[in-house]
Structure 1
């Protein structure tokens, strides 16, 4: 039997275009609206401005839609499940 902490989580990797501090605040607000997200990071130094999300579900399409609705360009780079056999 799997324990909750053994449940695989999705790693969602998105490229984004963050143009301002207001955009970054909007990203934080969108991320905070998802209860299934346990961790996230954003690399503004990377050419793709990579947004990495660790979530219980594959919410990549929903996050992309929310970002685009807020005027933030984004695209899915990859979605995978670590330690999945």
Structure 2
């Protein structure tokens, strides 16, 4: 298991809900959260080793959001 951390432009509960089902249905995403109070709207994902940063970036971009990996 590993932790992936990203900056996003997901800035409201409505936007969080628009991506929620995708994350919840993904077998390799164990736990996730978006900090709407943080200036960078930080997305944290606990995932299995079967999913990469690039995979998450592609998923989020498919939903039309900005995402960039942050250093651990």
Q: Deviations over 1:7-64 (max 9, x none)?
A: xx11000111014444211221221232122211110010110010011124221111
How far apart, in 1, do the equivalents of 2:71 and 2:37 lie? 19
Structure with larger Rg: 1
RMSD: 1.7
Aligned length: 71
For structure 1, the residue ranges without an aligned partner over 5 or more in a row are 1-8, 80-85
TM-score by length of 1: 0.71
User: Aligned ranges for residues 1-80 of structure 1 at < 5 Å?
Assistant: 9-57=1-49, 58-78=51-71
